[in-house]
Amino acid sequence: MKNIFLIFSIVCFLCGCSAVAGNRKLGTSEQEIQRQMADVATKKEVREKFGTPNLIFHKDELEYYEYKNVTGHGRYLWLVPVIGWVVSLVQDNYTYCENNLFIGFDKTGKIEDWNVLQSTGTFD
């Protein structure tokens, strides 16, 4: 019984090593965000779907909302005694993916423009 509890605890710990920051309602791929944007047309509908924006700014007579979602995960070989410690000296890294959705509204609150910017990278 103790072994099962130990294995369960280790699995839960390792699953918790992935991170999500920002808006959890925002899709994690450009295609998913395009599907989410297909059925919204006004500022009210955007707030209902995505919640409070991370940033609000004005540009070219439009009001823009920015929604951000950053996901990441790493390889945690250092958790394996001895062999993992040696391998992690060479291979340990952290990978992230950031999605930014910018939505521009006209003075009446209708969507005039929107764009998705996605960036990915790896930290060693």
Confidence of residue 15 (pLDDT cuts 50, 70, 90): very low
Query: Does residue 63 lie within any of the structural domains?
Result: yes
Percent of the residues in the chain that have a pLDDT greater than 90, as a whole number: 47
Interval 64-92 mean pLDDT: 70
Query: Does residue 8 lie within any of the structural domains?
Result: no
Interval 4-19 mean pLDDT: 54
Query: Does residue 80 lie within any of the structural domains?
Result: yes
Interval 16-23 mean pLDDT: 64
81/60: higher pLDDT: 60
Read off the amino acid at residue 24. Answer: R
Query: Does residue 109 lie within any of the structural domains?
Result: yes
Number of structural domains (the chain) is 1
Instruction: Indicate the length of the chain as a whole number.
Output: 124
State the residue range of the domain holding 117: 20-123
Integer angstrom CA distances of residue 122 from 19, 49, 79: 14, 30, 20
Query: Does residue 11 lie within any of the structural domains?
Result: no
CATH value at residue 116: 3.30.1450
Q: How far apart are CA 91 and CA 56, in angstroms?
A: 40
Q: How far apart are CA 97 and CA 60, in angstroms?
A: 29
Query: Does residue 5 lie within any of the structural domains?
Result: no
User: Which 3-state string (H, E, C) describes 24-86?
Assistant: CCCCCCHHHHHHHHCCCCEHHHHHHHHCCCCEEEEECCEEEEEEEEEEEEECCHHHCCCHHHH
The predicted pLDDT at position 116 comes to: 95
Query: Does residue 61 lie within any of the structural domains?
Result: yes
The answer to whether residue 39 scores a pLDDT higher than 70 is: yes
Query: Does residue 54 lie within any of the structural domains?
Result: yes
88/66: higher pLDDT: 66
